[in-house]
Structure 1
Amino acid sequence: MLELKNVSKSFGSNVVLKDISLQIDTGEIVSILGPSGCGKTTLLNVILGLTDLTSGQIFFDGESLSNVPMKKRGFNIVFQDFALFPNLNAYENIVYGLRNNPQASTMQEVRDLIDLLDLEKHLNKRIDELSGGQKQRVAIARTLVMKPRLLLLDEPLSALDGMIKESIKARIKQIARQFNLTTVIVTHDPEEALSLSDKVLILNGGLISQYADPLSIVHKPANTFIKDFILRQLTIKRDNIFRLFNTEIAA
């Protein structure tokens, strides 16, 4: 379980996160959602250990991480731009981390991940020969071979559309379930957050505006901001939301 207690982060006089407290259970998929500048990426970086806390505490399975450096937390992130090595082919990117930590995964486990993500026919391709969806799957595979205790995804679907986006969403869900892997996702897209996650954390101005399961957010928005930010945007994609929840959205 990941637990944040009264987490705050300031950059000089700019307060980005204010008194964030929440729990994420093992194996849950949680999306962090909110408008630009609300603190989504800063919160992700604080969990990862890339950014230090100003105040508060972070625990994972009861262990305090507040003073644990990023490399020792055992968390891994898939960045929005994939951050793949252009001089290496797809397979070399996937196994790159095993150079310094060969015991993380066996070759059979690597092959199993390649099969799970349907990458076999793309292994010898250069990165510039891969589609956006293929790059995303390579980036996810490269992260998973290191067996992270927590998977962090920064806007994993922002560069994708249509069936490719739906395919990657399905694979993220499958991976989280199969490996019982706690997964935290930053996204700006309400539909994406609601359809992909067990719970959604909505930030506004560095504060928690609502933290609940998707149905509760749709049917019981906590405040006017949630109604404006979530429901009005979802009206544009109403048919998709009907399909997700098989029910009507209250006006």
Structure 2
Amino acid sequence: MLELKNIKKAFDGTTILNDITLDVQDGEIISILGPSGSGKTTLLNLILGITDIDSGKLLYDGQDLTRVPMEKRGFNIVFQDYALFPNLNAYDNITYGLKNNPGISSKEEVAELIELLGLEEHLEKRIEQLSGGQKQRVALARTMVMKPKILLLDEPLSALDGVIKESIKDRIKTIAREYNLTTIIVTHDPEEALTLSDRVLIINEGKISQYGRPEEIINEPNNSFIREFILNQLEIKRNNIFSLFRCEATA
């Protein structure tokens, strides 16, 4: 569905991404994982079209989108800070994009999405009255009513914790499955990537270290960087997560 072929990107002579080649299948949830400065946000911006590709190709359903501007790609993003309009209530934020594109989603479809995200009781609230989890759900709804071909999420769980974090993870999974929506997530947290995604792309110093299913990365890490990165980040919770994927691998 989405293909990146030999993608390269540099800023001021410094290579940020080097020879990135991968495919993303229809309906998959993919996490882009890596330490700070590894190039993961740059890769998300290249896919969205905010940033130009220096060399290589980006294809969607076989169509070359490498030089196609962002507004014509049909992809959409939920930013880390949600980027909601503080002067509008939750419902007006959700339906804002439909003012100029009224035919994309019907009132029934909007209502269905609001119900799916559990936002019915919050529609009249101003943004400042919403919790972090509620803001995240409003931002997801606002993006989803525009029916994106690909949903991009930039650190969607970084400001959340505990039960709220798990709830948003479940809703992201539900949306992806209900709408068969290809979803690409940038995260610095291995736990999020391994428990949320169908496949995980691990980037280090602008190159792909490994791209595979969570259980493959846990049980068959490609190199010492992945072993150390995963182990160090998951030290507190590693026993539960490792046992989970070992059980799945042997099931």
User: TM > 0.5 between the two?
Assistant: yes
Deviation, structure 1 residue 240: 3.7
Matched, 1:71 2:67: no
**Cα displacement (A) at 1:239:** 4.2
Deviations 1:204-235 (A, max 9, x none): 00000000000000000000000110123222
Q: Does the CA-based 8 Å contact 1:114-1:120 persist in structure 2?
A: yes
Name the aligned partner's letter for residue 220 of structure 1.
Answer: E
Aligned equivalents of 1:97, 1:158: Cα separation in 2: 25
Alpha-carbon spacing, 1:197–1:248, altered in 2? closer, same or farther (3 Å): closer
Q: How many correspondences in the alignment?
A: 249
1:160-203 CA distance string (max 9 Å, x none): 00000000000100110110000000000000000000000000
Aligned residue number for residue 18 of structure 1: 18
Could you say which residue in structure 1 is the equivalent of 2:93?
93
> Structure 1 pair 243/101, CA: closer, same or farther in 2 (3 Å)?
farther
Distance 1:23 1:248, change over 3 A: closer
Taking structure 1 as the reference length, what is the TM-score of the superposition? 0.97
Equivalent residue for 2:214? 214
TM-score (norm 2): 0.97
Q: Could you tell me which residue of structure 1 aligns to residue 4 of structure 2?
A: 4
Change in Cα spacing, 1:130 to 1:215, as seen in structure 2 (3 Å) is: same
Aligned residue identity for 1:76? N
% identical aligned pairs: 68
**Matching of residue 152 in structure 1 with residue 143 in structure 2:** no
Structure 2 residue aligned with 1:233? 233
Give how far 1:12 is off: 1.8
Counterpart Cα distance in 1 of 2:183 and 2:41: 15
Unpaired segments of 5 or more residues in structure 2? none
What root-mean-square deviation, in Å, do the aligned CA atoms of Structure 1 and Structure 2 show?
A: 1.3
Gaps of 5+ in 1: none
1:29-75 deviations in whole A, cap 9, x for unaligned? 00000000000100000000000001000001111001110000000
Distance 2:140 2:100 in 1: 18
C-alpha contact (below 8 Å) 1:218/1:231 kept by paired residues: no
Contact 1:154 1:186 in 2 (8 A): yes
User: Partner of 2:88: helix, strand, or coil?
Assistant: coil
Contact 2:215/2:248, CA 8 A, preserved across alignment = no
Distance 1:243 1:174, change over 3 A: farther
